[in-house]
Amino acid sequence: MSENLDAVSLGRHQHILEQAIKYGVARTKDLALAFGVHEMTVRRDMDYLEAQGLLERVHGGAKIVQTASEEVAYSLRSAQRTLEKQRIARAALELIEDGDTIALDSSTTALALVRILAVRKVQAIITGLDAANILASSGVPFTLMGGVYHSPARSFVGSVFSAGLKRFHPDKVFFSSKGFTPEQGFTDAHLPEVEAKELLIEASAQKIALLDSSKFGSRAANQIVGLKGVDTIITDQQPSSSVRSALKKAGVRLLIAP
């Protein structure tokens, strides 16, 4: 199979998994129409994903294997808008000075910053398992906040996390959220994650949100922090004029990643 064909197949696989997570069942006929391919091609894709332990074939399509759903959802989230996240991470790096103690949440956007953090002489406070693995191999000194393992975000949360964080006062925190509106502020779906992010923000002197442009106008069930609770938002493109006006009124700095 050629490299181009491999890339196309990987794109189909990701879309099939996204549809299965979103709708419960990914329908063979619908996917064939969306991809512009024969249904047999989609069936082969589903056979491959089933062999990987990710999908279970059902009549007319396939559904996510329940035990794999959280891991798949995280992997898909990590693979989305990677270029935008990298741009945001590079812009965030410019705000970090040698000697800083910085805190980072377990978001995939903050993880993009973790990947390039070794160029600064900093101390990091992290909550995510993937961040710990990256920093351990890059030589950046870090403290991993312990607690109950929260598999949807591959992070640690809970009372042990809260108690441990009371010892720390980071210079800057970098966090993301599922959605943002001026009225609701920064929101996320998982309450344990929301509580962990909230504690990181409260403990830090400077509060910096890393939001790709798809987050603007979206909202989730739980508020992390209101608009006035942050100092800076870094994103990849200009938000709407109404959002810019709200940020200016609240005294929140807006940085557009180049």
Domain end (from 76, 103, 121): 76
pLDDT computed for residue 27 by the predictor: 94
Q: What is the mean pLDDT of residues 102-114?
A: 95
Using the predicted structure, report yes or no on whether residue 213 has a pLDDT greater than 60: yes
pLDDT computed for residue 3 by the predictor: 36
* Same structural domain, 24 and 89: no
pLDDT computed for residue 5 by the predictor: 45
* Same structural domain, 62 and 156: no
* Same structural domain, 85 and 212: yes
pLDDT computed for residue 14 by the predictor: 79
In the chain, what percentage of residues exceed pLDDT 90?
64
Task: Express each pLDDT in 224-236 by its tens digit.
Answer: 999 999 999 999 9
pLDDT computed for residue 131 by the predictor: 92
* Same structural domain, 144 and 162: yes
pLDDT computed for residue 104 by the predictor: 97
Angle of CA points 159, 161, 166, to nearest 5°: 100
Using the predicted structure, report yes or no on whether residue 2 has a pLDDT greater than 50: no
Q: What is the mean pLDDT of residues 158-180?
A: 92
Range of the domain at 27: 3-76
Domain count, the chain: 2
* Same structural domain, 114 and 205: yes
Q: What is the mean pLDDT of residues 38-53?
A: 90
pLDDT computed for residue 221 by the predictor: 87
This prediction has a pTM of: 0.76
* Same structural domain, 40 and 55: yes
Using the predicted structure, report yes or no on whether residue 153 has a pLDDT greater than 90: no
Using the predicted structure, report yes or no on whether residue 1 has a pLDDT greater than 60: no
List CB contacts of 36: < 8 A, sequence separation 6 or more. Answer: none
The CATH code of the domain that includes 247 is: 3.40.50.1360
The CATH code of the domain that includes 7 is: 1.10.10.10
Region of poorest pLDDT, from 148-162, 174-188, 216-230:
148-162
Q: In terms of C-beta density within 10 A (0-12 exposed, 13-18 middle, 19 or more buried), how is residue 137 classed?
A: exposed
* Same structural domain, 113 and 226: yes
Task: Express each pLDDT in 52-72 by its tens digit.
Answer: 778 889 999 998 876 655 556
**DSSP states of 17-85 as a string?**
HHHHHHHSSEEHHHHHHHHTS-HHHHHHHHHHHHHTTSEEEETTEEEE-GGGHHHHHHHHHHHTTHHHH
pLDDT computed for residue 203 by the predictor: 95
Confidence category of residue 210, pLDDT binned at 50, 70, 90:
very high
* Same structural domain, 209 and 226: yes
pLDDT computed for residue 189 by the predictor: 82
pLDDT computed for residue 257 by the predictor: 97
Domain end (from 76, 97, 132): 76
Domain end (from 76, 102, 130): 76
Confidence category of residue 151, pLDDT binned at 50, 70, 90:
confident
Report the candidate in 184, 191, 247 with the shortest Cα–Cα distance to residue 218: 184
* Same structural domain, 31 and 110: no
Q: What's the Cα-to-Cα distance from 238 to each of 87, 177, 187, 212, 256, rounded to whole Å?
A: 14, 18, 20, 10, 7
pLDDT computed for residue 236 by the predictor: 96
Q: What is the mean pLDDT of residues 173-202?
A: 93
* Same structural domain, 173 and 64: no
* Same structural domain, 96 and 181: yes
Rounded mean pLDDT of the chain?
Answer: 89
* Same structural domain, 150 and 137: yes
